């Protein structure tokens, strides 16, 4: 028993000594120290035997080729990916919101490295006022070319029917929202159209019109700044007021009544242009400004007081065509698909603007009434009424800037375009008469 206790004591002393004294170079047994020098050459030998190293290199090559050609990963460089994730933190959105099934979205970059054969990078685009006349045609074009579109609209003058053909498309979203309130989204581009465009609608609540132009534009510019998106403002030829220069060039500063009935719209758009340029100069937001001249086409509001829709609706309803004043005031009329092509060319191009987008073909109101009669009802009559306040006498765009810098010009004449809107108006007026009006 004594000898067993001694043996145990001896062994525990030895054990403690092992712990206290690290095995030195002279240690008779050091398994770890001996293992490395022997195993390193063995693993290198293993790699060199039977061309295993060659197979490793071939594997790396195949892997990297796959990742280069894989579209969702090659759409964005590592620095952009990094900034996308940084932005996701700053906006409070998850990276999953930005990295969709189709790949990571770039921010504020409309270009990007696209491998040959893969095609253009898919963009996520907001269209404010996208349920309206121009907006819905723009949405059609953007969806058709393969982009994801989010429409923001409060349906003041816009209609869901204008977009019904996109409902159910996973690349399309419709949000009921008033742009005078801020909204947070992650997109590459913002087309800012939200604003009633016809005198009937913008005079209905002038304070709301100016609020939409000022607060709405501020909110969308703030969003563009925050997420690094490119921003396009749809301004108007009304910024030229009752022009003293004819035709109007972009360099003309206008002749606008600041206190008239139309000022909520005219001055509202002028302020929106000012805000846009200030965000560009002061906050380096990428901006584009379009000054749109009279545009017509399917989906215009019936009875909105705009001259083309007025005449067409009146001719279909067999009512006299109402001409305000002597009918000698001139306008230029642009078909909506020409405008949409111009807006996209401006957004994708490198120039800020402003750019006049309109058809320089100039018509008096009486000439327009004549074309409508020839197209719809030759027996239609004309009724003269007193002119409205601040109605400009002449309006015709000089589009040489858009022609040379955007390579854009309208293609569809009034005589070609008018019949294209007639069937849409006929269908809607018929539905209205049958009590299914929309
Ligand atoms: N059509 C033209 O001839 C013309 C000419 C010059 C400028 N523009 C400009 O083009 C844009 C579109 O014009 P349109 O002819 O399609 O007009 P529209 O009235 O058909 O469309 C405007 C859209 O904006 C929406 N909207 C209005 N206020 C809003 C708000 N506060 N929040 C959210 N949505 C709101 C409306 O519901 C509607 O869907 C407007 O900015 C207009 O000033 C149009």
Q: What would the two tokens of residue 67 be?
A: 């990742």
Q: What CATH number has the domain bearing residue 271?
A: 3.40.50.720
Would you say residue 181 lies in a domain? yes
| pLDDT at position 26 | 40
Per-residue pLDDT for 304 more than 60? yes
Of 136-145, 310-319, 401-410, the range with the lowest mean pLDDT is 310-319
Q: How many separate domains does the chain show?
A: 1
Per-residue pLDDT for 279 more than 50? yes
Tell me the pLDDT tens digit for each residue of 130-148.
999 999 999 999 999 999 9
Q: Nearest C-alpha to atom 42 of ligand 1 is from which residue? A: 197
Residues with a known catalytic role: 265
Residue 30 sits at φ, ψ, to 5 deg, of -140, 90
Would you say residue 194 lies in a domain? yes
> Which atom number of ligand 1 is nearest to the Cα of residue 269?
43
Would you say residue 303 lies in a domain? no
Would you say residue 282 lies in a domain? yes
Burial class (CB in 10 A: 0-12, 13-18, 19+), 171: middle
**Rounded Cα–Cα distance for residues 402 and 416 (Å):** 22
**Average of per-residue pLDDT across 115-128:** 78
Q: Nearest C-alpha to atom 17 of ligand 1 is from which residue? A: 197
| pLDDT at position 54 | 76
> How far is the first Cα of the chain from the last one, in angstroms, to the nearest whole number?
107
Antiparallel, parallel or unpaired: β 230-236 and 321-324:
unpaired
**Rounded Cα–Cα distance for residues 306 and 314 (Å):** 12
What is the CA(237)–ligand 1 centre distance, in A? Answer: 14
* pLDDT category of residue 69 using cuts at 50, 70 and 90: low
* pLDDT category of residue 44 using cuts at 50, 70 and 90: low
> Which atom number of ligand 1 is nearest to the Cα of residue 155?
37
Tell me the pLDDT tens digit for each residue of 165-196.
999 999 999 999 999 999 999 999 999 999 99
Q: What would the two tokens of residue 430 be?
A: 């018929």
Would you say residue 169 lies in a domain? yes
Would you say residue 262 lies in a domain? yes
Would you say residue 69 lies in a domain? no
| pLDDT at position 436 | 52
* Residue among 183, 193, 276, 305 whose CB has most ligand 1 atoms within 8 A, to mutate: 193
What is the CA(324)–ligand 1 centre distance, in A? Answer: 23
Sign of CA dihedral 246, 249, 253, 258: positive
165, 182, 120: which is closest to 344 by C-alpha? 120
Length of the chain: 438
* Residue among 126, 127, 134 whose CB has most ligand 1 atoms within 8 A, to mutate: 134
**Average of per-residue pLDDT across 346-371:** 93
What is the CA(234)–ligand 1 centre distance, in A? Answer: 9
For the question of whether the overall pTM of this predicted structure is more than 0.85, the answer is no
Domain coverage including residue 243: 124-296+334-360+389-411
Per-residue pLDDT for 408 more than 60? yes
Residue % of the chain over a pLDDT of 70: 74
């Amino acid at each position: 028993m004594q000898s067993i206790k001694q043996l145990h004591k001896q062994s525990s002393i030895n054990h403690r000594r092992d712990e206290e004294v690290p095995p030195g170079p002279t240690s008779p047994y050091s398994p770890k120290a001996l293992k490395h020098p022997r195993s390193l050459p063995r693993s290198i030998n293993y790699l060199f035997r039977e061309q295993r190293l060659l197979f490793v290199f071939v594997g790396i090559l195949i892997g990297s080729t796959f990742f280069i050609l894989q579209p969702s990963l090659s759409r964005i460089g590592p620095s952009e990916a990094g900034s996308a994730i940084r932005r996701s933190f700053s906006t409070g959105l998850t990276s999953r919101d930005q990295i969709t099934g189709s790949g990571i979205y770039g921010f504020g970059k409309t270009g990007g490295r696209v491998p040959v054969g893969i095609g253009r990078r898919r963009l996520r685009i907001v269209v404010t006022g996208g349920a309206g006349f121009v907006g819905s045609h723009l949405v059609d074009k953007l969806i058709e070319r393969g982009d994801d579109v989010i429409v923001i609209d409060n349906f003041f003058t816009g209609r869901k029917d204008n977009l019904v053909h996109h409902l159910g498309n996973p690349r399309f979203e419709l949000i009921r929202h008033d742009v005078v309130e801020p909204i947070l989204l992650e997109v590459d581009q913002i087309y800012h159209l939200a604003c009633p465009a016809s005198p009937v609608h913008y005079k209905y609540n002038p304070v709301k019109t100016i609020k939409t132009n000022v607060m709405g534009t501020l909110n969308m510019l703030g969003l563009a700044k925050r997420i690094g998106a490119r921003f396009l403002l749809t301004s108007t030829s009304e910024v030229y007021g009752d022009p003293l220069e004819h035709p109007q060039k972009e360099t003309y500063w206008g002749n606008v009544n600041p206190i008239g009935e139309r000022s909520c719209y005219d001055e509202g758009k002028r302020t929106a242009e000012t805000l846009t340029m200030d965000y560009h100069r002061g906050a380096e937001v990428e901006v584009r400004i379009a000054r749109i001249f009279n545009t017509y086409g399917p989906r215009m509001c019936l009875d909105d007081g705009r001259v083309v829709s007025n005449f067409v609706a009146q001719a279909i309803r067999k009512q006299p065509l109402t001409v305000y004043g002597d009918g000698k005031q001139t306008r230029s009329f642009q078909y909506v698909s020409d405008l949409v092509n111009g807006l996209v060319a401006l957004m994708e191009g490198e120039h800020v603007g402003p750019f006049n987008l309109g058809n320089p073909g100039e018509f008096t109101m009486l000439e327009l009434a004549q074309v409508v009669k020839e197209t719809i009802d030759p027996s239609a009559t004309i009724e003269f009424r007193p002119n409205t306040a601040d109605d400009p006498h002449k309006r015709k765009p000089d589009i040489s800037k858009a022609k040379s810098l955007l390579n854009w010009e309208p293609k569809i004449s009034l005589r070609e375009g008018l019949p294209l809107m007639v069937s849409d108006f006929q269908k809607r007026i018929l539905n209205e008469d049958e009590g299914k009006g929309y």
